[in-house]
Each structure stands twice: as C-alpha cells, then as structure tokens.
Amino acid sequence: MATTLFTNIRLLVNTRSESNLLYGKALADLPCVENAWLLVEDDRIAGYGSMDNLPASYSGVRELVDAKGCLVLPAWCDSHTHIVFAGSRESEFVDKIRGLSYAEIAARGGGILNSAGKLREASEDELFNQAWKRLEEISKQGTGAVEIKSGYGLTVDSELKMLRVIKKLREKSPLSIKATFLGAHTYPPEFKENHQGYIDQIINEMLPVIGKEKLADYIDVFCETGFFSPEETARICRAGMEYGLKPKIHANQLNLSGGTQVGVELGAISVDHLETMDEAAISTLANSSTIGTLLPTAAFFLRMGFQPARKLIDAGCAIALASDFNPGSSPSGNMNLVVAMSCIQMRMLPEEAINAATLNGAFAMELAQDLGSITIGKKANLLLTRAVPSLAYLPYAFGSPLIDRVMIGGNWIS
C-alpha cells in the first residue's frame, strides 16, 4: 500500500469527523490541528492528529514529508467554471477599458456569441487540448475538483461537442469533474428573433441526447434581463430535471432578475454570481437549502460591486466560492486569488473563505462525501503551502505563490 506520512505540519486545516453544509455563522468554524501529522494511504486520508500523539511506527511508509512551518489544507473545490472555450477575448477587455459595459459588448454580438463563433470552428481535439492546459494550470494552483459548463456551443452539435470534451476531460484527468449543460447561456444569432424556437431546441433536441448519453450532471440557465426570464429558466430546468439533471443556475449577476427566487423554488443545488441582491432575494436564499455561490473575480474583472457576502452570511445563507473561469468575465481559475479577494473586498474572514472554497464548494458539486475537508476516508486531495506564519497569511499575501505542492488522490501532481 502506497503510504505518505506528513509530520510537523504547522496547521492542518479543516479537520472534521463528519461534514455538513455550513450555513451562516457556522462558516467561520474552521477546525484545525496545530503541530500535526497526517497519514495518506493509497488515495485516501487514513489518519491525523497532534505530533504529541504521533503513533510510534508506521509500517510501509513510502514517503515521509517534513512539513515544518507549512500548512496542509484540502484542495480547492471550484464549483463554477466554463473552462472549455476556444481562444480568448482580450480585445473586448480593451473595449471595456475604453468604456463599454459587458451588456453593451454582448448587445453588439460580442461576449458569449464571440466565444460561440470561435468554438463552432474548433475541433473536439483542439478544445480538449486547450481545456487540458487550463486544468493543469488550476490544479497546480491547488484546485482538486471542478465543475465545467457547456454554453459556448448554442447549437445541438456544438453543445454536444462541448459536453463530450468535458466527458473526455473527466475520463483522463485525476481531478474530480462535474459537467453542467448550459445550452441556455444566450440566444444564438439564428434564433435572435425566435427565443421560443431556441428553448424548444434545447428541450426537444439537446436534452434527450444529453440524457441518453449521460453527458451532464446539472442544468444551468443564464437567468438575466435580456437573456432568459425566470419563467423560461423554470421551464428549461424542469425539462432538464426530467432527465435527472439538477439545477445550478446563473442568477442576479447584472440585475435583480428573479433568478435566486426561481432557483430556490426549483430546489437548485446552487444559485451563482449574486452581485445584485436585495433583501427579498437574500431572505429567500437564507430560508432554503440552496447554496449561494459567489464569484468575486467576475465582479472584479467586470468592475462591478462585489457580492454582499457579509449580508448573506449574517442572514444565514450557505455560501460557496468559485472562480467562474471563462474568457469573458473571469479569465482566471486561481482559487487562491478568489479566497484573497473574498477576504479583502467582501470582508469574509479567512476561515469563512477557506470553508467556502473547500467544504461548501464540495457540497455545491455534491462531492462532499469524498472531498472538501480533512476527514478519515475522504480522498487525499491536499495542498501543502510554503512555510508561512499563519492561516491568515494566505489571503494577506495575495500575490505570492504560496502553494508549494498539490496532491490529488494520493499522488503529487506538482
């Protein structure tokens, strides 16, 4: 049995005997063991404790890691990304610097449609290779589990092409991957004047194949003024639910679009973005078991107000943090930056941000039975930091590469 023993860990972070979704104030409760040891057997966490109680001998230890001065955390669980895309959109980035808004760029046929045009031209292999590089990049930055959406295809063939790429990534990558069908990301040019026609195509042509080939775990809709209304969102999600896809939707990004309310009504796993929230949306979310997934790097990149994390936490919501890695609103999947930005700009405590990016992120992908905390029996997806003085140093020194090594399923990947 392949065994790795870590000793002298300054702080072993997020140690739990059982893991529950963390609502409201409970998010600040981050159990840790100081001066700890940790044992990994094969791909699993096999034991941990204080160095004062280090078992005298372990047989079969393949590797001994002296983690003096370093922290060990569960790897990041990034529950919202769009990492399958073709090319990049830095010319729109410059347009934004010159003053155009995200909505204005979209209205001119840029934005999601720009990426859709590029994606339709790209072969499955090209898409796979580009996404594979992004997966390698984020895993080196500490991400061990990731949700990936379609939504840049917008035709039957191209949406299926994206989902097949995600399936192949899932088969080949050591990371845990969940797939989300986001056919309802925007209306393709062919259906500009016929929204009903596109929704019918999603429901009658895309979903049956996705269901049959088991190409997705979740269904997503961009519920937003000028995109899909709450009624359309409900219709599409209900159709997806017939095929066993649970809703995880884009809500309340640019407007008070009613996305949170419809998500909660549908029993969505999560409603994501939440830059634009009022009291009604906050209390609806707080009185539900739907997770609110905050994407601060998207707010940052689009120069918008950040998500009201404090209000959401104080109201009792279950909050997760994710990167939204995509070419238009967050061309970064760096979860270390997401955690730091949440502390700096949204006043989340470091403990809250780490819980939201690990355990609650795992819940937002229904992977918490296996990931998101240091729990005996869970998968050994671990971050080993450089020597740092404390936990708060991670978001504080936001620009320093503090992740030294990353272990996925018991194997070092960097």
| Contacts of range 254-261, beta carbons closer than 8 Å, 24 or more positions apart | 254/102, 254/103, 254/224, 254/225, 255/224, 255/225, 256/281, 257/223, 257/224, 257/225, 257/229, 257/230, 258/223, 258/229, 258/230, 259/223, 259/224, 259/230, 259/233, 260/284, 260/285, 260/292, 261/230
Give min distance, CB of 289 to ligand NIG, in A: 23
Binder of ligand NIG out of 249, 298, 335, 388 (CB under 6 A): 298
Q: List all residues 6 or more positions away from 97 whose beta carbon is below 8 Å from its beta carbon.
A: none
Q: Is 134 in the site for ligand NIG (CB under 6 A)?
A: no
327 binds, among Fe ion, ligand NIG, none (CB under 5 to 8 A by kind): ligand NIG
Regarding 326 and contact with ligand NIG (CB under 6 A), the answer is yes
Sites of contact with Fe ion (CB under 5 A)? 324
Scan residues 77-116 and list those touching ligand NIG (CB under 6 A).
Answer: 111-112, 115
- Does the protein bind ligand NIG through residue 222 (CB under 6 A)? yes
User: 180 or 290: whose CB is closer to ligand NIG?
Assistant: 180
Segment interacting with ligand NIG, rule: CB under 6 A, options 61-69, 190-198, 327-335, 376-384: 327-335
Q: Least distance (Å) from Fe ion to the CB of residue 169? A: 17
Q: Which stretch binds ligand NIG (CB under 6 A): 55-63, 193-201, 319-327, 372-380?
A: 319-327
325 binds ligand NIG (CB under 6 A): no
DSSP SS3 for 271? strand
Is residue 219 within 8 A of residue 246, CB to CB? The reply is: yes
3-state secondary structure of 120: helix
Closest separation between CB of residue 412 and ligand NIG, Å?
32
**Is the Cβ of residue 48 or residue 85 nearer to Fe ion in the bound state?**
85
Please answer whether residues 254 and 103 qualify as being in contact, where contact means their C-beta atoms are separated by less than 8 angstroms: yes
Q: Does 253 bind ligand NIG (CB under 6 A)?
A: yes
Report the SS3 class of residue 399. Answer: coil
Which residues in the 187-206 window bind ligand NIG by CB under 6 A? none
Beta carbon nearer to ligand NIG, 41 or 272: 272
Tokens of 138: 């984020």
Q: Which residues contact 37 (CB under 8 A, 6 or more apart)?
A: 5, 6, 7, 8, 9, 48, 49, 50, 51, 54
Cβ neighbours for 108, distance < 8 A, ≥ 6 positions apart = none
User: If we measure between CA atoms, which residue out of 174, 177, 185, 179 comes closest to residue 151?
Assistant: 185
Binds 253, which of Fe ion, ligand NIG, none (CB < 5 to 8 A, cut-off by type)? Answer: ligand NIG
Size of the site for ligand NIG (CB under 6 A): 12
The whole-angstrom separation of Cα 335 and Cα 331 is 12
> Is 250 among the residues that bind ligand NIG (CB under 6 A)?
yes
- Verify binding: residue 258, ligand NIG, rule CB under 6 A: no
Interface mask toward ligand NIG for 8-27; x: CB under 6 A: --------------------
Angle, alpha carbons 310-103-304 (nearest 5°): 25
Q: Which stretch binds ligand NIG (CB under 6 A): 259-267, 275-283, 284-292, 324-332?
A: 324-332
Binding site for ligand NIG (CB under 6 A): 111-112, 115, 222, 250, 253, 298, 324, 326-329
